[in-house]
Structure 1
Amino acid sequence: MNNENKLTAIRRYVFSIFNNDATGHDFYHMKRVADAARTIAEAENANSFICEAAAWIHDIGDGKLFADQSEAISDLRAFLLSNGVTEDETRRILQAAKDVSFRKGNIPETLEGKIVQDADRLDAIGAVGIARTFAYGGSKGQLIWNSAEKDNSSIQHFYDKLLLLKGLMNTDSAIRIAEERHRFMEMYLEQFFSEWGR
Structure 2
Amino acid sequence: MTQELGPLARRLALPYYDDALPAHDRFHAERVRDVALRLAGESEGAVDRDVLAAAAWLHDIGRPLERTGEIADHDQWAAREAADLLATEGVATDSIDAVEHCIRAHSVRASSPEPETPEARLLFDADKLDAAGARGIVRLACIVGERSGRAGERYAVIDDASAAGADAPDDPDVGLLREWARERLDALYTPAGRRLGESRWQFMEEFFAQFSDEIGVDGER
Tell me, yes or no, whether TM beats 0.5: yes
Letter in 2 for 1:9: L
Cα 1:130–1:59 change in 2 (3 A) is: same
Pair 1:52 & 2:53 matched: yes
Matches of 1:103 and 1:150, distance apart in 2:
22
Conserved 8 A contact 2:17-2:61 = no
Query: What are the superposed Cα offsets for residues 110-158 of structure 1, whole Å, 9 maximum, x if unpaired?
Result: 2211111000011110011101111122223152122872369641322
The answer to whether the 8 Å contact 1:42/1:48 transfers is no
Query: Are 1:28 and 2:27 matched, yes or no?
Result: yes
1:90: which partner in 2? 96
- TM-score, length-scaled by structure 2: 0.78
> 1:103 and 2:132 equivalent?
no
What is aligned with 1:161? 180
Q: Which residue of 1 aligns with 2:133?
A: 126
Distance of 1:171 and 1:74 partners within structure 2: 26
Deviations 1:47-85 (A, max 9, x none): 211212112111234574462256654432221112232
In the TM superposition, what is the alpha-carbon distance from 1:33 to its structure 2 partner? 0.4
Deviations 1:12-70 (A, max 9, x none): 22221114422410101000101111222232232211212112111234574462256
The offset of 1:181, in angstroms, is: 0.5
| Equivalent in the alignment of 1:15 | 14
CA pair 167-178 structure 1, distance change in 2 beyond 3 A: same
Where structure 1 has 5 or more consecutive residues not aligned to the other structure, the ranges are none
Q: Which structure's CA Rg is the greater one? A: 2
Shift in alpha-carbon separation, 1:189–1:33, aligned structure 2, 3 A: same
Contact kept? 1:99, 1:113, Cα under 8 Å: yes
- Equivalent residues of 1:38, 1:51 under 8 A apart: yes
Distance 1:56 1:182, change over 3 A: same
For residue 197 of structure 1, what is the aligned residue in structure 2?
216
Whole-angstrom CA distance in 1 between matches of 2:172 and 2:92: 44
C-alpha separation between the residues in 2 aligned to 1:10 and 1:74?
A: 14
When residues 126 and 91 of structure 1 are mapped into structure 2, their CA distance, relative to the original with a 3 A threshold, is same
Letter matched to residue 194 of structure 2: I
Q: What runs of 5+ residues in structure 2 fail to find an aligned partner?
A: 150-155, 163-167
Quote the RMSD (CA, aligned, Å): 2.5
